[in-house]
């Protein structure tokens, strides 16, 4: 019995991985904007894979504010909460609260059931580029990276890459520093995240969501960091809208 269980896991995983070696969109980071973008793209018939370096997808939602696992969203996000069957409580002041664990779980479930493949504990350590365009990601196991083991990676090719890594905007920084490319930002480089200003940060998250280089997009706090936006803390409406927006931008670019 033991060998059968191991065989089933190996066969199933490698079938999933082999089928994801070439995708329409590779998303790095399974936070709220990345998960929502992934579902939107999959619903539109695109082949999508998410690579999350941590064991648990969901990004910064799980802990709410300082491990009080509740999050806040604006009332205009209610239609998206309803889409995911996420329960919420109204505050009477233009905001709602929701259980952080329920929100994280619902976003993950929604993406997977739309057809998205999520590979957890996988770190994207580099980008693949051809003819002045980002065309894929270079992956390795996160424990391999953490232990600094000399193990060569694998490559996933894609028509678009989304940086959803949050505050560090890891891929955007990598593209700027290693590839030396000029980003579509006011300075041509990563501008860096500003201090906390919730209202401004919420709106700028959506505004800053964009294509920063052919084939390379940013959403959520990765977009804010790239464009010099403010931090917003445990309020997530901007993240949800950012995911919706970037999915639309990618679809416009890769349709047909």
In order along its 256 residues, the chain shows pLDDT tens digits of 899 999 999 999 999 999 999 999 999 999 999 999 999 999 999 999 999 999 999 999 999 999 999 999 999 999 999 999 999 999 999 999 999 999 999 999 999 999 999 999 999 999 999 999 999 999 999 999 999 999 999 999 999 999 999 999 999 999 999 888 999 999 999 999 999 999 999 999 999 999 999 999 999 999 999 999 999 989 999 999 999 999 999 999 998 5
Residues sharing a CB contact under 8 Å with residue 150, sequence separation 6 or more, in sequence order? none
Binding residues: 33, 60, 124, 150-152, 167, 221, 231
DSSP 135-181: EEEEEEEHHHHHTT-----EEEEEEEEEE---TT-HHHHHHHHTS-P
Confidence at residue 77, expressed as pLDDT on a 0 to 100 scale: 97
Binding residues for glycine: 231
Rounded to whole angstroms, the Cα distance separating 128 from 139 reads 10
Q: What residues form the annotated binding site for Fe cation?
A: 152, 167
pLDDT for res 255: 85
Query: Tell me, what's the pLDDT at 33?
Result: 98
Would you call 190 exposed, middle or buried from its count of C-beta atoms within 10 A (0-12, 13-18, 19+)?
buried
CB 218 within 8 A of CB 212: yes
For residue 205, how many C-alpha atoms fall within 13 Å in the half-sphere facing its CB?
30
Write out the H or E segment, with its range, that includes residue 40.
helix 32-43
Binding positions for NAD(+): 33, 60, 124, 150-152, 221
What is the distance between the alpha carbons of residues 77 and 6, in angstroms, rounded to a whole number? 43
Please, which residues have CB within 8 angstroms of residue 114's CB and are 6 or more apart in sequence? 38, 39, 42, 43
| CATH among 3.50.50.60, 3.30.910.20, 1.10.40.30, 3.60.15.30 for 23-254 | 3.50.50.60
Helix (H) or strand (E) holding 220: helix 220-227
Q: Could you give phi then psi for residue 229, rounded to 5 degrees?
A: -85, 170
As a dihedral over the C-alpha atoms of residue 18, residue 19, residue 25, residue 26, rounded to 10 degrees, the angle is -30
What angle do the packed helices 32-43 and 237-254 form, to 10 degrees?
A: 40
Pairing assessment for the beta strands 133-141 and 122-130 based on DSSP bridges? antiparallel
pLDDT given for residue 163 in this prediction = 98
Write down the domain spans for the chain.
23-254
What values do phi and psi take at 103, rounded to 5?
-65, -50
């Amino acid at each position: 019995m033991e060998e059968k269980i191991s065989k089933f896991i190996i066969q199933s995983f490698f079938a999933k991985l082999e089928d994801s070696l070439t995708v329409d969109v590779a998303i790095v980071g399974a936070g709220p904007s990345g998960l929502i973008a992934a579902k939107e793209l999959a619903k539109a018939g695109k082949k999508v894979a998410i690579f999350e370096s941590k064991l648990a997808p969901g990004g910064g939602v799980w802990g709410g504010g300082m491990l009080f696992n509740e999050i806040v969203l604006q009332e205009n996000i209610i239609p998206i909460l309803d889409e995911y069957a996420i329960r919420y409580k109204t505050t009477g002041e233009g905001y709602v609260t929701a259980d952080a664990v329920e929100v994280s779980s619902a976003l993950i479930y929604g993406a997977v059931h739309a057809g998205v493949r999520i590979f957890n504990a996988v770190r994207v350590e580099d980008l693949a580029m051809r003819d002045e365009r980002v065309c894929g990601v270079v992956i390795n196991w996160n424990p391999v990276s953490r232990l600094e083991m000399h193990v060569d990676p694998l490559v996933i090719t894609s028509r678009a890459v989304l940086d959803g890594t949050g505050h560090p905007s890891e891929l955007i920084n990598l593209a700027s520093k290693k590839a030396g490319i000029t980003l579509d930002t006011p300075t041509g480089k990563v501008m860096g995240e500003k201090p906390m200003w919730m209202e401004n940060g919420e709106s700028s998250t959506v505004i800053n969501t964009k294509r920063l280089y052919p084939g390379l997009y940013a959403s959520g706090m990765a977009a804010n960091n790239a464009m010099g936006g403010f931090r917003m803390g445990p309020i997530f409406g901007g993240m949800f809208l950012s995911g919706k927006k970037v999915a639309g931008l990618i679809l416009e670019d890769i349709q047909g």
